[in-house]
Amino acid sequence: MNNGEKKNMTVKTFGVIGSGQMGNGIAQVAAASGLQVVMSDVKQEFAEKGLAAIGKNLNRLVEKEKISQADGQAILSRVKITTNLEDMAAADYVVEAATEREELKFGIFRELDRICPPHVILGTNTSSIPIGRIAAQTDRPEKVIGMHFMNPVPVMKLVEVIRGLATSDETFSITWQLCEKFGKTPAEANDFPGFIANRILMPMINEAIFCLYQSVGKKEDIDTVMKLGMNHPMGPLALADLIGLDTCLAIMETLYDGFKDSKYRPCPLLRKYVEAGWLGRKSGKGFYTY
């Protein structure tokens, strides 16, 4: 690990693609660890909204006396926003946290491969798309890795670290140490659709949606059974709303396409909700109304 440790010292500027729920959370933990952060999005208003979310989270920590006001301001000052992907040329390590759409991610990685110097590691926060498939879009597959954070990022301790077929030991080592620098606990997963977390979680959520679809129980009762019977902090339908029903559907489709196994077939009710624009918390309506 010595080579990785020495290399890790050169990661001073951390790039994040996407300023949504996951992106701004990743930017926050990176800035809190002392790194300079460049967070990009396609529109200025999106980037500003992401920066405001970080500020709000930090203010909450100040109010709870978990950090000082000076620390909060220092963390926020380390996050710079941009709408120009070319600014990622300044980063030593970049993580993509864009919407869970394969072609979108492929396009971003092709651009990052062109923009970023050859030594830069390109991570992806994808929750289900095979890392090898993303790495193949670049001329640096050995420097592409999965860095799958959990939502909400500042709170959740886990990061799944997924190496593709070509990912080098050095890339893995640096990524592992960055996770620890961020105060997270990394867990290694092999490059299969859904990795570990979503290969287990998403079929459970999908089955809960089938229970609602087939009138096995009302949404409140389904969630109550899993909260009180299985000691889950929130029910699967409420969790689906938090994740985003479009993201849940995309992951189920990736699992179904990857394994060709009917147990991963997305519930028709999930597809119906997504087609209607009922995406959960972010749209104001999903299984519940917000």
**Of residues 125, 127, 128, 206, which has the active-site annotation?**
127
Residues 227 and 152 in one domain: no
Among 210, 203, 215, 219, smallest CA distance to 269 is for 210
Residues 207 and 166 in one domain: no
Q: What is the pLDDT of residues 200-243, one digit of tens each?
A: 999 999 999 999 999 999 999 999 999 999 999 999 999 999 99
- Residue 162, strand partner residues: 146, 189
Res 10: pLDDT: 83
Distance CA 56, CA 259 (A): 41
Residues 65 and 35 in one domain: yes
Res 6: pLDDT: 41
- Residues of the chain whose pLDDT is less than 50? 1-9
Res 26: pLDDT: 98
Res 172: pLDDT: 97
Res 9: pLDDT: 46
Query: Catalytic residue at 232?
Result: no
Residues 262 and 230 in one domain: yes
Residues 140 and 245 in one domain: no
Q: Is 0.75 topped by the overall pTM?
A: yes
* 182 inside domain: yes
User: Which amino acids are annotated as binding site for NAD(+), given as ranges?
Assistant: 18-23, 41, 100, 105, 127, 151, 282
Q: How many structural domains does the chain have?
A: 2
Residues 239 and 178 in one domain: no
* 289 inside domain: no
**Of residues 24, 57, 160, 206, which has the active-site annotation?**
160
Query: Catalytic residue at 160?
Result: yes
Query: Catalytic residue at 198?
Result: yes
The CATH number of the domain holding residue 271 is 1.10.1040.10
**Of residues 8, 57, 198, 206, which has the active-site annotation?**
198
Distance CA 7, CA 143 (A): 13
